[in-house]
Amino acid sequence: MSAILVSSARTLLLLAFASTFVVMIIVGSSLFVNYPASECVPFRSLFNTEPTRRDETCVDPYKLPGYLYIPDNDSYRLTSYVPFYDSLYDASDPSFTTYPWPGKSSPDLSDPHPEPEFLKLAPHSWMTDLVVHAKLVDAAANGQDHDASRLERLDKYLDWMRNKRVLMIADSVDRYMMVYFCQELGHSATVEARHTTAWCTIPHLNFTIYHWHLAGYYNYRPNWWWQATMQQVTFEDRYEKMFKRTLGDVVGGNGRAPDLILYQSGLWDQVTFAQKYAQEPDGGEFSSMNEQNRHKDRQLTWAELRFYMTRQKQFIRHVKGVFGNDTRLVYRSLTPHQQLDERDLMIMNMDRASRIVAHKEGVEVMDWARLVTGFSGQYKDHVHVNKGPMSWLYQNMLLSYVFRLAGGVENLGAIEHHPMSYQSELDPWLECHDVYVAQAVDNR
């Protein structure tokens, strides 16, 4: 209950400032009117003037050590990631840590809820605002009674999402996250056919997530391929025959590339590598394979690792060739199977390889897998993560990138700079980009 109060109080505070800001624009005030006004931090002072605050500002809360607070399944929309900032470490010792423990009963350690002062440092839940906004838009469209001024404030507050295009080049794990994103906001995704292209649009924001299904980095279509309907396997062929025709729909603000591209490939590769020596005909070219390689649940062979790493590099160069070398790319870290076992050794090999590729190719990492790993109960089957706390987390993580590329800056759970006041010739994405690319190799 306290969580609800904290979260909505913060939203209300921000909305109050949003309307203040609009008034200021009208009277022609400074271009760097900030938001919320009580924490007036001009974008320039965060990055471009001495002393720069880059070290404090370029901190992605989702990359910090922290605690994933999931109130319970029924209220998964309050799921928050609570980073461990200094204020937690320096907080006074909780009474239940007293030693020697007075009295006979043991200390009560049953409270599942972080104290509000730590919870309020969790990264902003954009999904919370978006759900409220979508309901108000819907009520207005249907002529129902609604809070029109709140709708107007939210329209402005969420304007940074307008006209944005996010492209996922990934497998069905991300496609489900896209489908759930639309469901949360009362819309349906369009999935043309399994393993092809799919998309989801939030019409009132002209915000679209597009999904290109990547079937791994394999370089040919083996005749033992187990998906008869999958005519194209390589990303080169899939691009030519399947993805290219959607270019008009995936291009966003700059007119030549999506505003953000999220990619990932691992589960298809893992199955391919695991199946290869079992499926290739006996007496064929791989008949001398030793027993160790025939074993499916194993690490990648060194050659497989080189294969995966190099093909991924080729994939990224291909994407850059299509959309430009300055395309904003984010690698989504690889989630293991629902039941973590030796199959996941390959997944870990591939995740580590993907991190070095990201680091070298100027790609940032959305480390969702780090937070999902171990939550077997949150999977819908052996590989797909279900709708609930983990999809909510995914959506908020993804939106934090869109907020940032539009000029938003969040620090210690507060909006330090809102994109609605962003006025600069600089590309806001680049302000912290190098820091995050350097961190791509961390954590694993």
Ligand X SMILES: *[C@@H]1O[C@H](CO)[C@@H](O)[C@H](O)[C@H]1NC(C)=O
User: Using CB under 6 A as the criterion, which residues of the chain lie in contact with ligand X when the complex forms?
Assistant: 72-73, 163, 165, 206, 252-253, 320, 325, 377
Nearer to ligand X, 44 or 320 (CB): 320
Nearest residue to ligand X, using CB? 377
Q: How far is the CB of 171 from ligand X (least distance, A)?
A: 22
Q: How far is the CB of 73 from ligand X (least distance, A)?
A: 4
Are residues 423 and 47 in contact, defined by beta-carbon separation less than 8 angstroms? Answer: no
Nearer to ligand X, 163 or 227 (CB): 163
Cα(229)–Cα(213) distance, integer angstroms:
13
Q: How far is the CB of 68 from ligand X (least distance, A)?
A: 13
| Helix 389-405 with 428-438: angle, nearest 10 deg | 120
Count of all residues that appear for the chain in the document: 444
In eight-state DSSP terms, residue 103 is S
Q: How far is the CB of 232 from ligand X (least distance, A)?
A: 25
Q: How far is the CB of 257 from ligand X (least distance, A)?
A: 11
Nearer to ligand X, 284 or 377 (CB): 377
Tell me, rounded to whole angstroms, the distance of Cα 441 from its chain centroid. Answer: 17
Q: How far is the CB of 178 from ligand X (least distance, A)?
A: 17
Nearer to ligand X, 309 or 350 (CB): 309
Per-residue DSSP letters for 337-351?
-SS-STHHHHHHHHH
Coil, strand, or helix at residue 289? coil
Tell me, rounded to whole angstroms, the distance of Cα 253 from its chain centroid. Answer: 20
Are residues 117 and 90 in contact, defined by beta-carbon separation less than 8 angstroms? Answer: no
| Exposure string over 37-54, b if 16+ CB within 10 A, otherwise e | eeeebbbebbbeeeeeee
Nearer to ligand X, 286 or 375 (CB): 375
Cα(338)–Cα(358) distance, integer angstroms:
25
Cα(185)–Cα(189) distance, integer angstroms:
11
Nearer to ligand X, 73 or 287 (CB): 73
Nearer to ligand X, 116 or 253 (CB): 253
What 397-401 contacts at long range (C-beta under 8 Å, 24+ apart), as own/partner pairs, is: 397/62, 397/366, 397/368, 398/166, 398/177, 398/181, 398/262, 398/366, 399/126, 399/127, 399/130, 399/161, 400/60, 400/62, 400/123, 400/124, 400/126, 401/260, 401/328, 401/330, 401/364, 401/366
Q: How far is the CB of 311 from ligand X (least distance, A)?
A: 17
Token pair listed for 181: 């994103």
Token pair listed for 2: 């306290």
Token pair listed for 258: 């999506």
Q: How far is the CB of 162 from ligand X (least distance, A)?
A: 8
Q: How far is the CB of 328 from ligand X (least distance, A)?
A: 14
In eight-state DSSP terms, residue 295 is -
Cα(223)–Cα(34) distance, integer angstroms:
60
Q: How far is the CB of 438 from ligand X (least distance, A)?
A: 19
Nearer to ligand X, 33 or 363 (CB): 363
Nearer to ligand X, 39 or 159 (CB): 159
Task: Compute the Cα dihedral for 294, 298, 301, 304 and give only its sign.
Answer: positive
Per-residue DSSP letters for 249-281?
HH--TTSSS-SEEEE---HHHHHHHHHHHHHSP
Q: How far is the CB of 105 from ligand X (least distance, A)?
A: 25
Q: How far is the CB of 72 from ligand X (least distance, A)?
A: 5
Nearer to ligand X, 165 or 213 (CB): 165
Nearer to ligand X, 189 or 274 (CB): 189
Nearer to ligand X, 51 or 377 (CB): 377
H or E element, residue 139 = helix 126-141
